[in-house]
Amino acid sequence: HMFGATIGSLQVRTCVGTVCTTRSTFTGAQHTSQTAAWTQAFVSLASGTTSVQFVGNRSTSFTGDISVDTISITPGGSVPPTVAPTSAPTVAPVTTFTCGFNTPSNTANTTLTTGLPTSQGTRFWCGMSHTNIWQVDEGGSTSSFNTGPSGGQAGTTTDNYAHLETSFGTVGMESVLTTPPLLVNPGGAVLSYY
């Protein structure tokens, strides 16, 4: 969800090891109000993908909150040509990853077959790492006036979501939200997010 007068940009990058490629970019307001329905987007993931990054770039003011919710990775789908991993994988293949930011990380909100504990990371992050000004909003609108959504993608004011809190940071600051380690199987996978 991208509503506000000073929305920066949101990029989705797919990574093989430390080499990341921008797969989609949204710049400026994509929604007309805080109550506008969330928009679903899809990205094909090639075999060998080891992580996905959501990269928010802060613009000039606090009215630039960018939000993501209901991140899901499922096997199959149309994928671009594969890129060989740069090193031997250190995790088992992922069959499914889902994060709605609603359940504390120490309970079963994350479905991974990577052998990674669901308790990694902090509360509600589903094992995802984050830098700079990403935070989980525990329902309702963001703390900034006239920006961000009125609630999570499920349409309730108690539905959590991650958002870039632009009351903090500096112009152009890049903040990265990264999935836990992945290893997408041959045949690829599809990333879905709001």
The tens digit of pLDDT for each residue in 43-86 reads 999 988 989 999 999 999 999 999 999 999 988 765 433 344 44
Predicted pLDDT of residue 94: 52
pLDDT of residue 95: 58
Backbone angle region of 155, left / alpha / beta, with phi > 0 → left and psi within -120 to 50 → alpha: left
Report how far residue 150's alpha carbon sits from residue 83's, in angstroms, rounded to the nearest whole number.
Answer: 40
Largest Cα separation within the chain, whole Å, is 47
- 118-155 pLDDT, tens per residue? 333 345 678 788 888 888 877 788 888 889 898 889 88
Reported as a pLDDT band with limits 50, 70 and 90, residue 3 is very high
H-helix segments, 14-70: none
Query: pLDDT category, 105, cuts 50, 70, 90?
Result: very low
Whole-number pLDDT of residue 27:
97
Radius of gyration of the chain from its Cα atoms, rounded to whole angstroms = 16
45 CB contacts (<8 Å, ≥6 apart)?
Answer: 14, 52, 73, 77, 79, 182, 184, 188, 189, 190, 191
CB atoms inside a 10 Å sphere around CB 25: 12
Q: Can you give the pLDDT at residue 154?
A: 87
| pLDDT at residue 38 in the model | 94
Dihedral sign, CA of 142, 158, 119, 100? negative
% of the chain exceeding 70 in pLDDT: 78
